[in-house]
């Protein structure tokens, strides 16, 4: 009995405390009784004062680009990734290129299997006589496509949900509970289930990776929003009657551009990594579509034969080059896009 009583008093105290805190925090409540004239008074136009104020030629994107190009390592990797991307898409149109899915035969009509890298087959051939050079670049195209689609979706949906979750207080606990639940449903279960329901294809794998990937992004954005939502400048905006939409697009989003860029740049390597993983557990793309996941998996099966290791190492080298470049460029851009780093 005394225990419940004490509990009751505690909750009473808590309620009083929250009410008191609300009253203190909210500027509307605090000054509600004051007449309008006390709150705002016409200051009049002071032309001389306006002259004195001067102006700053600060431009957000200008400062961002400048900060980015000061980082020489990042610029180097930016060049690498641009060249790599360009080459990936130009490669099939170059002269004398082999087809990724064609099986090549020698003069006697026998398949050229497991040929070591030479002048004709730059990366060698695989166990059924396909050209590994062509397959690696075709696989890079597939995987980059998957990574880009998944990354774009993750960032878009994650940001939308994250903004709602963080900015609209009433939705906070709802989304948090939802997150706790969905975060605990194993990703593998969802992936396997989707691969049962839908036929394995590029579309399916994009869908499956999108379905599970945006959660952490939304949570990340939510945490960022909660941190900056009640900063003084936002409070000032709200007091001056700025609409919620404008606060979100003009006050919050510029702060989030840097993290969004970072997540986008990281989502691509991680989607490629996930593609390798789902291929590994046997629910990836059909083996006849070349992708980095399929190539790594095919090469993995041959590691016990040292002379055939080139079949693993070439795709792995290209994959590592892409993911590392994207990672460095993404991180440097995120640093450059952070307004805090513009004050030099």
Partner 1 sequence: MLKYILKRILHSLIALVIVISIVLLLLRAMPVEGYFNNYEKMSETQINVTLRKMGLKDPAPVQIGRYLMQLLKGDLGTSNKYRQGYPIAKIIAKKAPISIRIGLLSFAIALAAGFPLGIAMARSAKTKWKVWDRFGTILIVIVQAVPSAVYHLLIQLYGSEWLGISMLFDKDDWRTYILPVFSLALGNIVYFAMWLRRYMVDEANKDYVRLARAKGVPESRISRVHIFRNAVVPLVQYIPQSILFTLMGSLYVESLYSIPGMGGLLVQVIKIQDNTMVQALVVIYSALSVMGLLLGDILMALFDPRISFTGKEGSRA
Residue 304 C-beta: closest distance to partner 1, Å: 8
C-alpha span between 337 and 256 (Å, rounded): 9
Residue 180 in contact with partner 1, rule: CB under 8 A? yes
Residue 170 C-beta: closest distance to partner 1, Å: 18
Would you call 202 exposed, middle or buried from its count of C-beta atoms within 10 A (0-12, 13-18, 19+)?
middle
Which segment (93-101, 108-116, 121-129, 189-197) binds partner 1 by CB under 8 A? Answer: 189-197
Q: How many CB atoms lie within 10 A of CB 307?
A: 8
C-alpha span between 61 and 236 (Å, rounded): 25
Residue 16 C-beta: closest distance to partner 1, Å: 17
Cα 270 to Cα 263, 299, 327: the distances in Å are: 10, 20, 10
SS3 147: helix
* CA nearest to 330, candidates 69, 78, 82, 140: 78
Residue 271 C-beta: closest distance to partner 1, Å: 10
Nearer to partner 1 among residue 125 and residue 274 (C-beta):
274
Residue 60 C-beta: closest distance to partner 1, Å: 24
Residue 17 in contact with partner 1, rule: CB under 8 A? no
> Considering only residues 128, 193, 227, 301, which one is a binding residue for partner 1 as defined by CB under 8 A?
193
Residue with tokens 């989304």: 175
Residue 197 in contact with partner 1, rule: CB under 8 A? yes
* CA nearest to 129, candidates 121, 119, 137: 121
Residue 184 in contact with partner 1, rule: CB under 8 A? yes
Site size with partner 1, rule: CB under 8 A: 38
Per-residue string for binding with partner 1, 261-280, x by CB under 8 A?
A: --------xx-xxx-xx--x
> In the range 219-248, which residues lie near partner 1 by CB under 8 A?
none
DSSP characters for 29-91?
HHTTTS-HHHH-------HHHHHHH------HHHHHHHHHHT-HHHHHHHHHHHHHHHHHHHG
Exposure string over 187-198, b if 16+ CB within 10 A, otherwise e = beeebbebbeee
Handedness of CA 231, 235, 237, 242 (dihedral sign): positive
Nearer to partner 1 among residue 63 and residue 324 (C-beta):
324
Exposure string over 239-266, b if 16+ CB within 10 A, otherwise e = eeeeeeeebbeebbeebbbbbbbbbbbb
Residue 143 C-beta: closest distance to partner 1, Å: 10
> Considering only residues 104, 122, 207, 327, which one is a binding residue for partner 1 as defined by CB under 8 A?
327
Residue 327 C-beta: closest distance to partner 1, Å: 4
Residue 253 C-beta: closest distance to partner 1, Å: 24
Nearer to partner 1 among residue 126 and residue 251 (C-beta):
126
Residue 196 in contact with partner 1, rule: CB under 8 A? yes
Residue 189 in contact with partner 1, rule: CB under 8 A? yes
Per-residue string for binding with partner 1, 148-177, x by CB under 8 A?
A: -----------------------------x
Structure tokens at 167: 């900015």
C-alpha span between 13 and 21 (Å, rounded): 12
Per-residue string for binding with partner 1, 286-325, x by CB under 8 A?
A: ----------x---x--x-----x--x---x--xx--xx-
Query: For binding to partner 1 (CB under 8 A), which residues are involved?
Result: 10, 177, 180-181, 183-186, 188-190, 192-193, 196-197, 269-270, 272-274, 276-277, 280-282, 296, 300, 303, 309, 312, 316, 319-320, 323-324, 326-328
């Amino acid at each position: 009995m005394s225990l419940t009583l004490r509990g009751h008093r505690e909750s009473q105290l808590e309620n009083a405390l929250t009410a008191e805190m609300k009253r203190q925090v909210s500027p509307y409540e605090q000054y509600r009784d004051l007449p309008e004239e006390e709150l705002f008074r016409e200051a009049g136009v002071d032309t001389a004062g306006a002259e004195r104020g001067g102006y700053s030629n600060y431009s957000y994107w200008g400062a961002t680009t400048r900060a980015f190009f000061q980082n020489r390592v990042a610029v180097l990797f930016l060049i690498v990734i641009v060249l790599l991307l360009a080459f990936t898409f130009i490669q099939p149109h170059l002269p004398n290129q082999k087809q990724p899915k064609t099986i090549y035969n020698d003069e006697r009509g026998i398949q050229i299997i497991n040929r070591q890298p030479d002048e004709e087959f730059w990366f060698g051939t695989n166990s059924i006589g396909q050209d590994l050079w062509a397959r690696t670049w075709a696989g890079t195209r597939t995987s980059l496509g998957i990574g880009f689609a998944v990354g774009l979706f993750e960032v878009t949906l994650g940001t939308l949900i994250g903004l709602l979750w963080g900015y609209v207080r009433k939705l906070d606990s709802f989304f948090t509970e939802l997150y706790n639940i969905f975060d605990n449903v194993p990703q593998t279960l969802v992936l396997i289930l989707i691969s049962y329901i839908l036929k394995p294809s590029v579309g399916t794998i994009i869908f499956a990776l999108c379905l599970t990937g945006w959660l952490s992004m939304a949570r990340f954005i939510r945490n960022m929003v909660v941190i900056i939502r009640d900063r003084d400048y936002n409070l000032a905006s709200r007091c001056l009657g700025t609409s919620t939409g404008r606060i979100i697009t003009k006050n919050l989003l510029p702060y989030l551009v840097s993290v969004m860029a970072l997540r986008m740049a990281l989502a691509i390597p991680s989607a490629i990594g996930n593609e390798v993983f789902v291929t590994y557990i046997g629910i990836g793309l059909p083996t006849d579509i070349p992708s980095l996941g399929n190539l790594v998996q095919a090469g993995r099966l041959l590691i016990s034969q040292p002379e055939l290791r080139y079949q693993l190492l070439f795709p792995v080298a290209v994959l590592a080059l892409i993911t590392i470049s994207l990672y460095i460029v993404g991180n440097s851009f995120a640093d450059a896009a952070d307004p805090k780093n513009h004050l030099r």
